[in-house]
A and B are shown apart, each in its own frame.
Chain A
Amino acid sequence: MEVIRPADIQEAAAALAENPGAVPLAGGTDLMVEVNFGHIRPSAVITLRRVEEIQELSRRRIGAGVTFRDLETGDHRALAQLARTIGSPQIRAAGTIGGNIGTASPAGDSLPFLAGLDARIELRSAARGARLVPWDEFFIGVKQTSKRPDELITAVLLPEDLPDRQEFAKIGQRSAMVISIVAACVFRWRGGRTRVALGSVGPTPIRCRRAEDMISNERNPGESALDEFARIVSEEVRPITDHRGTEDYRRHSSGVLARRLLERCLAS
Chain B
Amino acid sequence: MRIHAEVNGEAREFETKGSESLLFVLADQLGLPGAKGACEQGECGSCSVMLDGRLVCSCLVMAVDVDGSEIVTVEGLGRSGLHPVQKALVDSGAVQCGFCTPGFVVAAAALLDENPVPSSDEIREALSGNICRCTGYGAILRGLDSLAGNR
A interface residue numbers (CB < 8 A to B): 1, 3, 5, 25, 27-29, 31-33, 35-37, 41-42, 45, 47, 49, 69, 87-91, 93-94, 175-177
Contacts A35-B19, A41-B19, A88-B45; A29 near B67 (Cβ below 8 A): no
Q: Which of B1, B21, B45, B130 touches A3 (beta carbons < 8 Å)?
A: B1
Q: Which A residue's beta carbon lies closest to that of B67?
A: A5
Band of interface residues on B: 20 to 34
B12 within 8 A of A: no
B95 within 8 A of A: no
B interface residue numbers (CB < 8 A to A): 1, 17-19, 21, 40-43, 45, 48, 51, 54-57, 59-62, 64-65, 67, 107, 110, 125-126, 128-130
Rounded to whole angstroms, the CA-CA distance of A6 and B41 in the bound complex is: 27
Q: Which of B40, B60, B107, B125 touches A28 (beta carbons < 8 Å)?
A: B60
A47: chain B residues within 8 A (beta carbon): 62, 64-65
Contacts A32-B21, A36-B41, A177-B43; A90 near B107 (Cβ below 8 A): yes
Rounded to whole angstroms, the CA-CA distance of A42 and B55 in the bound complex is: 26
A36: chain B residues within 8 A (beta carbon): 21, 40-41, 59
Q: Which of B41, B51, B65, B107 has the most CB of A within 10 A?
A: B65
B126: chain A residues within 8 A (beta carbon): 89
The minimal Cβ–Cβ distance linking A106 to chain B, given in whole angstroms, is 19
The minimal Cβ–Cβ distance linking B61 to chain A, given in whole angstroms, is 6
The minimal Cβ–Cβ distance linking A6 to chain B, given in whole angstroms, is 12
The minimal Cβ–Cβ distance linking A85 to chain B, given in whole angstroms, is 10
Contact A45–B64 (Cβ < 8 Å): yes
Q: Which of B1, B17, B42 touches A90 (beta carbons < 8 Å)?
A: B42
The minimal Cβ–Cβ distance linking B29 to chain A, given in whole angstroms, is 17
Q: Which of A1, A5, A36, A41 has the most CB of B within 10 A?
A: A36
